[in-house]
Amino acid sequence: MILGDVLRALLGGLFRSRRRDASSKPAVAGVLAILPKLSAPEKSKVPSFFFPVFWGTTDDEAVTESMKSVTKKLEGGFYFADNLLTWVRNLSMFDDGPFLAAWKDNVESDSDKAIVWRRYVLACAAYHCVQLEGDFVECGAYTGVGVKTIVDYLGGPAFPKTFWCYDLFEHDGSMANHAMPEHGEGLYARVCEKFMPYPQVQVMRGKIPEVFAGGCPERIAYLHIDLNQAPAEIAALEHLFDRMVPGGILILDDYEWAGAYRGQKIAEDAWFDERQYRVMPLPTGQGLVIKR
Ligand SMILES: C[S@@+](CC[C@H](N)C(=O)[O-])C[C@H]1O[C@@H](n2cnc3c(N)ncnc32)[C@H](O)[C@@H]1O
C-alpha cells in the first residue's frame, strides 16, 4: 500500500465509524426513553381540520362562509386555519397520538388551536434537536403554551434538556411589537407556576437582548424566535445563532408572514445572506434554518 492508500483507509475507517455512531444512538444519553412513538395511520382515512381563525381579511364572516362552501367540494385531508387552506394532504399531526395529547392538554385559546400545524413543525424540530448536544430556547414565550406542548411531547417532567424561555410578559405601549391579550402584571407569575413541576424550564423575564446577561446557554440545539418585531429578533440572532450546534434547528415564527410582519423577513434575509444561509419559507408562515 502506498502512503495515499494508507491515509485513505485510515480516514475511511474514521468516517465509517463516525457514521455508525451517529446513526445508531442519540448523542444525548437517556433520550431514547422519552422519544414518542408514532401511531399507525389508517390507510383509507385522512383527517380534516376546519377551524376558521385567521387574520388579514376585510370580512371574516364572508371568508368563513366561502371556505365552508369551498371545503365541501374538496377531497379528504383538507385544512383551513391560520391563513392556510390546503387539501389532499396527510395532516400528519393528527396521526401523531403523543403530539395530539400534548397539544390538546395545553391549548388555552382559539389562536393556540388554530396554529396546530405550526406547533407540529416545532414538535418535529424538537424531536430532532433533543437528540443533539445543547439546550432549548424560545425567545417570546408569552403564556408558555408552545414551550409546554414541546416539553410534554418529549417526556413531560422527564424532558432531558434545559429549556430557556425569554419574555417581557407585558407591554408598556412603547414596543415595536403589538401587545398580546394575556400581557399584564400577572402573566410572569402564571407562567412560572405553569412550569413549577418542570425544573428544567427556566422562565427569564426581561427585554431581549439585555435579559441574556442574566442567563444564557453556551450551546443551543433548538431555537424558536417569536418576537413579532425585527429589531429584537435580529438582536436575538446576534446573541444566539453562533451558539447553535451543527444540525441544530432555528424556527422563525413570522418569517413567511407578510403584512405587519414583512419587515422581519426583510431584516432576516439580509442578516442570513451575509452568513451564506437561506431561510426555508414554510407554508405555515414560519421560516426554518438548519445550523451548519
Ligand atoms: C407572539 S408572542 C409569542 C407567542 C409564543 N411563542 C407562543 O408560541 O405562544 C410574542 C412575545 O414576544 C415578546 N417580546 C417581544 N419583544 C420582546 C423583547 N424585546 N424582549 C422580550 N420579549 C419580547 C412579547 O412580550 C410577546 O409575549
Is the pLDDT assigned to residue 10 strictly greater than 70? no
Is the pLDDT assigned to residue 151 strictly greater than 90? yes
Is the pLDDT assigned to residue 289 strictly greater than 50? yes
With the most atoms of ligand 1 within 8 angstroms of its CB, the residue from 136, 177, 205, 225 to mutate is 177
Least confident of 24-38, 69-83, 117-131, 264-278: 24-38
Task: Find, among 134, 93, 133, 110, the residue nearest to 284 by Cα.
Answer: 93
Helix residue ranges, H only, the chain: 3-24, 60-72, 97-106, 110-114, 116-129, 145-153, 187-194, 230-240, 262-273
Reported as a single tens digit per residue, the pLDDT across 210-266 is 999 999 999 999 999 999 999 999 999 999 999 999 999 999 999 999 999 999 999
Question: Which grid coordinates belong to 113?
Answer: 388551536
Residue 95 lies in a domain: no
Ligand 1 atom closest to residue 142's alpha carbon, by position in its atom list = 27
Reported as a single tens digit per residue, the pLDDT across 84-99 is 999 999 999 999 999 9
Sign of CA dihedral 47, 48, 49, 54: positive
By DSSP bridging, strand 287-290 and strand 244-252 are antiparallel
Closest CA to ligand 1's atom 19: 208
Q: What does the alpha-carbon distance between residue 106 and residue 100 come to, in Å, rounded to a whole number?
A: 10
Contact yes or no for 78/87 (Cβ under 8 A): yes
Residue 234 lies in a domain: yes
Closest CA to ligand 1's atom 9: 146
Task: Find, among 91, 109, 179, 180, the residue nearest to 149 by Cα.
Answer: 109
Distance 228 CA to ligand 1 centre (A): 7
The 3-state DSSP class for residue 291 equals coil
How many structural domains are present in the chain?
1
Distance 38 CA to ligand 1 centre (A): 31
Residue 75 lies in a domain: no
Closest CA to ligand 1's atom 4: 142
Question: Which grid coordinates belong to 247?
Answer: 444540525
List strands edge to edge, sheet with 244-252.
201-205, 163-167, 135-139, 220-225, 244-252, 287-290, 280-281
Reported as a single tens digit per residue, the pLDDT across 181-206 is 888 889 999 999 999 999 999 999 99
The 3-state DSSP class for residue 218 equals coil
Residue 86 lies in a domain: no
**CATH code at position 225:** 3.40.50.150
Residue 245 lies in a domain: yes
Reported as a single tens digit per residue, the pLDDT across 21-64 is 444 556 677 799 999 999 888 998 999 999 999 999 999 999 99
Distance 140 CA to ligand 1 centre (A): 3
Distance 145 CA to ligand 1 centre (A): 12
* Domain coverage including residue 247: 110-290
Residue 274 lies in a domain: yes
Q: Spell out which residues line ligand 1, taking CB within 6 angstroms.
A: 138, 140-143, 145-146, 166-168, 175, 177, 180, 207-208, 226-229, 232
Give the pLDDT of residue 183.
87
Residue 13 lies in a domain: no
Residue 219 lies in a domain: yes
Question: What percent of the chain shows pLDDT beyond 90?
Answer: 81
